[in-house]
């Protein structure tokens, strides 16, 4: 914990907050407020554009739960789903259902997404604030560090990350940023822009229907074969109540590393820049129109996620090793990368996002037929 400077304007930062027993970091300036649950995987549970009072992230109906304080009636190897509330989760080293890797049992989206992270405020000035967060998982010898920064006058969050294999043997991993968008941002629908070339649709899964996209099909983004035999436009997120569908797919072969989601009615959007040499895939996951029933959704979820990942598929680390997409680090090897997440206004399509968070716009409107 670091003592925050007593300031109520410009850039501000404090890790002295507590929410439902969880240490909480709040970073903000005059345009943007970001809330991070340090004791729950460094989840970003608020990414709010202040001028519109608009939080882009999905916020589940059961609210934010503290996994250390709420004991389930039976234990599971998928506690991630017990407390999933949307937001922005960082995941390492397993993406998907529980697996056993080299003798280590790794739960659903395990293992850093629910455990406490350490935090230290590095900068606290009116023009710039930053904090360093770091974590070592319980069952795998990785060390992940990240610095979150914000600058005056920019509706952007800057993230610099460093991942180290502290083990004495090569280790494979999946590393991802599970960014889930929801209502009210998605109420009127939205349009996705990203410079991917290939779009791979996941195979059929039990209980995962109806689907808009033909399972195991492939298209050139954003076009993809539809289940009705026609062609679907994957760049369109339908408005709430317009359709019911569940989707799982993967965008890849990026010309540049960014994506943007724009609601043309609200004239606002969220964009992120990432390194496509590290995060080579963007997972495309949707539960639209409260379609998903049973645990854990119970017919009350409207969510669309776009997730930069090193690897695929969503069936876990062992499958990523088998298909050759898992990232493997030698003993002592380090990977460094950076991301920039930005809120923006306007209803034009997006053509690019710079590392400084600058949006390049198209003359084309984001309104869709």
CA distances from 175 to 113, 142, 327, 328 (A): 11, 11, 8, 11
Distance (Å, whole) CA 315 – CA 323: 11
The tens digit of pLDDT for each residue in 238-297 reads: 999 999 999 999 999 999 999 999 999 999 999 999 999 999 999 999 999 988 888 888
Helix, strand or coil, per DSSP, at residue 81: helix
Distance (Å, whole) CA 10 – CA 8: 7
Q: Kindly tell me the sign of the dihedral angle through the C-alpha atoms of 9, 184, 61, 293.
A: negative
Distance (Å, whole) CA 345 – CA 48: 13
Q: What angle do CA 4, 156, 336 make, to 5 degrees?
A: 90
Distance in angstroms between the alpha carbons of the first and the last residue of the chain: 50
pLDDT of 110 reads 84
The tens digit of pLDDT for each residue in 14-31 reads: 999 999 999 999 999 999
Q: Please say whether the beta carbons of 109 and 5 come within 8 A.
A: no
Backbone angles phi, psi at 320, to 5 degrees: -70, -35
Contacts of 366 (CB under 8 A, 6+ apart): 190, 191, 262, 263, 264, 269, 347, 348, 349
Distance (Å, whole) CA 86 – CA 288: 14
Q: Please say whether the beta carbons of 127 and 151 come within 8 A.
A: yes
* Average pLDDT of span 65-85: 74
Question: Strands 142-151, 281-288: parallel, antiparallel or unpaired by DSSP?
Answer: unpaired
pLDDT of 271 reads 99
pLDDT-derived band at 364 (thresholds 50, 70, 90) equals confident
Residue ranges and CATH numbers for the domains of the chain are 12-365 (2.70.98.10)
Q: What is the DSSP code (8-state) at residue 82?
A: H
Residue found under tokens 């209803």: 347
């Amino acid at each position: 914990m670091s003592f925050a400077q007593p300031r109520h304007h410009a850039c501000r930062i404090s890790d002295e907050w507590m929410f439902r027993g969880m240490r909480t970091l709040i970073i903000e300036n005059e345009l943007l407020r970001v809330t991070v649950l340090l004791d729950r995987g460094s989840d970003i549970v608020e990414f709010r554009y202040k001028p519109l009072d608009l939080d882009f992230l999905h916020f589940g109906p059961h609210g934010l739960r503290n996994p250390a304080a709420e004991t389930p009636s039976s234990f599971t190897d998928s506690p991630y789903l017990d407390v999933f509330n949307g937001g922005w989760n960082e995941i390492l080293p397993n993406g998907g259902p529980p697996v056993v890797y080299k003798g280590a049992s790794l739960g659903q989206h395990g293992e850093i997404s629910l455990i406490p992270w350490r935090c230290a405020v590095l900068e606290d000035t009116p023009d710039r604030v930053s904090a360093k967060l770091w974590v070592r998982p319980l069952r795998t010898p990785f060390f992940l560090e990240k610095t979150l920064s914000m600058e005056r006058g920019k509706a952007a969050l800057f993230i610099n990350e460093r991942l180290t294999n502290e083990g004495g043997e090569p280790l494979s991993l999946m590393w991802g940023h599970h960014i889930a968008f929801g209502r009210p941002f998605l109420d009127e629908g939205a349009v996705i822009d990203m410079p991917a070339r290939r779009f791979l649709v996941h195979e059929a899964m039990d209980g995962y229907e109806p689907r808009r996209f033909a399972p195991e099909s492939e298209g050139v983004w954003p076009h993809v074969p539809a289940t009705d035999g026609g062609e679907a436009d994957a760049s369109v997120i339908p408005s709430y109540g317009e359709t019911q569908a569940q989707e799982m797919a993967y965008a890849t072969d990026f010309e540049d590393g960014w994506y943007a989601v724009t609601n043309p009615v609200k004239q606002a959007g969220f964009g992120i820049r990432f390194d496509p040499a590290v995060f080579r895939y963007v997972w495309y996951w949707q539960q639209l129109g409260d379609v998903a029933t049973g645990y854990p959704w119970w017919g009350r979820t409207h969510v669309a996620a776009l997730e930069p990942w090193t690897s695929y598929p969503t069936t876990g680390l062992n499958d990523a090793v088998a298909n050759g997409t898992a990232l493997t680090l030698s003993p002592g090897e380090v990977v460094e990368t950076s991301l920039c997440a930005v809120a923006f206004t306007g209803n034009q399509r997006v053509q690019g996002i710079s590392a400084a968070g600058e949006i390049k716009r198209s003359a084309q409107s984001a309104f869709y037929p």
